[in-house]
Structure 1
Amino acid sequence: MTERPVFPGRRFAAFLFDMDGTVLTSIASAERVWSRWAAAHGLDVATFLPTIHGVRTVETIARLGLPGVDPQEEADAIMRAEMADVADIDPIAGAAAFLAALPRERWAIVTSAPRKLAECRLAAAGLPPPPLMVAAEDVARGKPAPDCFQLAADKLGVSAVDCLVFEDAPAGIAAAEAAGAAVLVITATHTKAIATPHPTRAGYEGLASRCDPDGRLELVPVA
Structure 2
Amino acid sequence: MLSSGFPQFQRIRSRMVHLDRTYSAVLFDMDGTLLDSSAVVERVMTDWAVQNGVDPKALLAVCQGRRTIDTIRDFATADMDCEAEAARLEAAEVSDVRGIIAVPGAANLLDRLPPDRWAIVTSAGRDLATRRLTAVGLPIPEVFVTAEDIQQGKPDPSGYLLAVERLNVRAEACLVFEDAPAGIEAGLRAGCDVIAIDFARPEVAAHVCPRVSDFREITFNLS
TM-score by length of 2: 0.89
- CA positional deviation for 1:62: 1.3
List aligned pairs for 1:165-184, cutoff 5 A: 165-184=176-195
Q: 2:184 is paired with a residue of what secondary structure? A: helix
Query: Separation in 2 of the partners of 1:102 and 1:178?
Result: 24
**Residue of structure 1 in register with 2:120 after alignment:** 109
Given that residues 36 and 101 in structure 2 are in contact (C-alpha distance below 8 angstroms), is that contact kept between their aligned partners in structure 1?
A: yes
How far, CA to CA, are the matches of 2:145 and 2:204 in structure 1?
A: 28
Instruction: Indicate the residue corresponding to 1:6 in structure 2.
Output: 18
Following superposition of structure 1 onto structure 2, how do residues 1-223 of structure 1 map, counting pairs within 5 Å? 6-8=18-20, 10-192=21-203, 194-211=205-222, 216=223
| Contact residue 95 and residue 204 of structure 1 kept, 8 A | yes
| 57-66 vs 24-33, which moves further | 57-66
Residue-by-residue CA offset, 1:113-161 (whole Å, 9 max, x unaligned):
0000000000111112122110001000110000000000000001222
Q: Secondary structure at the match of 1:164?
A: strand
Asked if the contact 1:92/1:204 (under 8 Å) is kept, the reply is yes
Unaligned runs of 5+ in 2: 1-9
Mapped partners of 2:220, 2:189: distance in 1: 25
* Corresponding residue pairs, total: 209
Q: Indicate if the aligned counterparts of 1:102 and 1:209 stay in contact, CA closer than 8 A.
A: no
Say whether the 8 Å CA contact 2:121–2:160 is kept in structure 1. yes
Kept in 2, the 8 Å contact 1:144–1:171? The answer is: yes
Compare the two structures and name the one with the higher helix fraction. Answer: 2
Runs (4 or more) in structure 1 with deviation over 4 Å come to none
Partners of 1:130 and 1:40 in 2: CA distance: 36
Distance 1:6 1:48 in 2: 36
Q: How far 1:185 moved relative to its partner?
A: 0.5
TM-score scaled by length of structure 1: 0.89
Contact 2:39 2:99 in 1 (8 A): yes
CA RMSD of aligned residues (A): 1.7
* SS of 1:205 mapped into structure 2: helix
**Equivalent residue of 2:176, what SS?**
strand
Q: Is the 8 A contact 1:87 1:124 kept in 2?
A: no
Give per-residue Cα distances to partners, 1:168-194, cap 9 Å, x unaligned.
000000101111110010010124462
Answer whether contact 1:183 1:199 (CA < 8 A) is retained: yes
Matching residue of 1:219? none
